[in-house]
Chains A and B, each alone.
Chain A
Amino acid sequence: MQFRPRQQVTAAGVAVVALTLALGACSSSSSSSTPAANSSGGGSSSSAGGSANVSGTLNASGSTFQLSFQQAAIAAFKSVQPNLTVNYGGGGSGKGRTDLAAGTVNFAGSDSTIPDKEASNFTGKTVLYFPVVIGPITLSYNLSGVSGLKLTAPVVAGIFSGKIKTWNDPAIKADNSGASLPSTAITLAVRSDSSGTTANFSNFLVLAGGSAWTLGTSSTIKWPSTARAGSGNAGVAQIVKSTPGAIGYVDYADAKASGLTFASVKNKAGNFVAPSTASATAAAENATVKPDLTFSCIWTAGAQSYPITYQSWDLVIQKQSSTSTTAALKAYIGYLLGDGQKLLPTLNYAPLPSNIDQQAVAQLSKIGS
């Protein structure tokens, strides 16, 4: 049976498609390699990575807490190293750590250190922690006529476990004798998605709330069933803003962006401190920094420290496969630790205290060694 010319062409096309699919399926899968930065022909990449021209691409993902800082830093970094493109994908600290272990990103943003159950993903690899940003978690509330609310950790624990149900509860009144608290019911605003913000806030409640807090600490908490959940810090901010009598834990940057009122929290030294750039940096100055640059700013000493301050690191695998990636990482992370810190106050984050910043800069030389 002879095909007519048009049918011959169709048959040939189908055969080509089938062959391509078969070849694609049969060929061995390429190993997922870390995208490498290439040096441009003109510039040379020095291992110091500072003033020399570095080019290529760095890919990253992870903490959404760092996201707006990373976006601002990437834009500003373009004028420092125009040939180096950095991509920060967000997606959550857990995703960032998973991507780093799999080798699909060059660095990962994470609000917490690598937990024990993920440690097995990093066997044989040394991970370097570079702290890059500090920020307070506010307790934002919506109560008309009440400003300057003061809260202590056991009271916050009682509110968020559902034991304290109305605003005029004696426990809240005890710290706020000057304010006229209504009998409105308290509506909790919490995160519907898993997040490092939840993990750090619940960590604060464990450390400071004592026996008043029984729900543990994790990036997902079993809140009381009456809690309203929103997606992301912005979602929680929206619930607080639109519900009279609501209280929620919102990142400082999002709380200021939504124009929310937030409470002062009693710190370890016994003072009621409001969240701000200065009180967050004060908390970090009093943190105990381990040799690998991990630390916790939650519930630290210091008269002016804000007790619910958290921090975020950029994680880098010490052993790098190419010198140009090493140079690119040193250049970008060096920028984040140097001039990038000046961007933080305008973004409503807090810069690193100088002692931590210096130690981080000194650790830069370890990348790729």
Chain B
Amino acid sequence: MSTAVKADPAVPAGSASPLSTRRPLGDRGFQILALASGLLVLVILVLIAVSTSQQASSWFSAEGLKIFTNNWDPATNQFGALAFIYGTAITAVIAIIMAVPVSVGIALLLNEVVPYRWSRPIVYVVDLLAVVPSVVWGLWGILVFAPWIQHIYASIASGVKGVPVLDALFGSPTSGASFFTAGIILAFMITPIVTSLSREVIATVPQIDREGAYALGATRWEMITGAVWPHSQGGVVGAVLLGLGRAMGETIAAALVIGASPVITSHLFAPGYNMPAVIANQFGEASGEFRAALMGLGVLLFVFTIIINVLARGVVERSARRKRGA
């Protein structure tokens, strides 16, 4: 009876098992090296999680569930971090709302509308956005963008005064350095990632599906929604989630333009605070439980971004599996 062992292409024909001693030394050495590298990454990740949690343990044990209250007052040793969690969520959501339509739009433009010859320069320019360092975004934001947009905020705020929902969102107090400005800067920063990932996903849609849609009489928009989108939605959602993870963790740009005011407010034009910004601003003078609290914020941020990234991979995997099966 023939053996049911699948042929392993890396193993020379005739070997029985992958790690048998009859494998050449080079192959074995490479396998060990590759395994070690992969394990090293995992080990580093685990060590980071463990060591930061250890340093933050005094905060977790001293505050318990009070870490989710809005009461950050180092002078009286109270470290409730809800304002920062809220700020991180709000700025990330604003960034996503602004960046995703633009990025997916650019990706569709490059794949469906623009002739191939023009797509390379456009891709180049969009990728240049990713090259700008975070601190440069922050400096430009606080020195140039914030003073300019402050007047726009003030006029919007006076315009919506009294209107029920809009006043709560866009009313005064307004400030150049605010949740909304941070959201805009973060949107600029995540656009290149989301664009390039979406573009690659949309490019994998088989040409035959597009042509089939056209053959059935679809307009370009109907072709996009009917043939392109079902194929690529998983990948695009995954790209968006990766962008979200990046937006949550951006530190220096957020620290400079968010306004450094730990409040929970619906007013998007008001100064706020988020987790990476408070860590960057207050770590220099922190000691004891204050320092443990900042490390704890780092642990929380770490956990949130891991959850988002795992979700992203899950969504991408699921849609890829569905596509393969279909």
Contacts and interface: CB of A to CB of B under 8 A. Distances in A.
Contacts of A3: 26
B259 A228 contact: yes
Interface string A211-233: 00001111111110111110100
Interface string A77-112: 000000000000001111101100000000000000
Interface in B289-313: 289-290
A98 B74 CA distance: 18
Contact of B287 (A115, A196, A216, A217): A115
Q: How large is the interface on B (under 10, 10 to 19, 20 to 34, 35 or more residues)?
A: 20 to 34
A3 B26 CA distance: 9
A2 to B, nearest CB: 10
A98 B287 contact: yes
Contact of B284 (A118, A193, A221): A193
Contacts of A98: 287
A220 B284 contact: no
A301 to B, nearest CB: 27
A97 B260 CA distance: 25
A194 interface: yes
Nearest to A219: B285
B285 A94 contact: yes
Contact of B75 (A94, A97, A196, A215): A215
Contact of B73 (A195, A199, A222, A226): A222
Contact of A18 (B33, B286, B288): B33
Contacts, number: 90
B75 A229 contact: no
Nearest to A118: B287
B12 interface: yes
A194 B281 contact: yes
A117 B284 contact: no
B29 A117 contact: no
B74 A220 contact: yes
Interface string B247-267: 000000001100111110100
B283 to A, nearest CB: 8
A227 B261 contact: yes
Given A94-B287, A118-B288, A220 B261 contact: no
B82 to A, nearest CB: 14
Contact of A229 (B12, B29, B147, B260): B260
A94 B74 CA distance: 14
Given A3-B26, A228-B175, A222 B282 contact: no
A202 interface: yes
Given A117-B288, A221-B75, A15 B29 contact: yes
A222 B262 contact: yes
A232 B284 CA distance: 12
B212 interface: no
Nearest to A222: B73
B170 interface: no
Given A202-B75, A216-B76, A219-B74, A94 B284 contact: yes
26 contacts: A1-B24, A3-B26, A18-B33, A92-B284, A94-B286, A95-B284, A95-B285, A98-B287, A192-B255, A192-B281, A194-B283, A194-B285, A195-B285, A199-B285, A215-B73, A217-B75, A220-B74, A220-B282, A220-B290, A222-B75, A225-B261, A228-B175, A228-B261, A231-B256, A231-B260, A242-B147
Interface of B: 12, 24, 26, 29, 33, 36, 72-76, 147, 173, 175, 177, 255-256, 259-263, 265, 271, 281-290
Instruction: Rank and list the top 3 A-B pairs by shortest CB-CB distance, nearest first.
Output: A92-B284, A216-B75, A192-B260
Given A192-B255, A222-B73, A228-B175, 9 more contacts: A18-B36, A94-B284, A95-B285, A97-B287, A117-B287, A193-B282, A199-B285, A215-B75, A229-B271
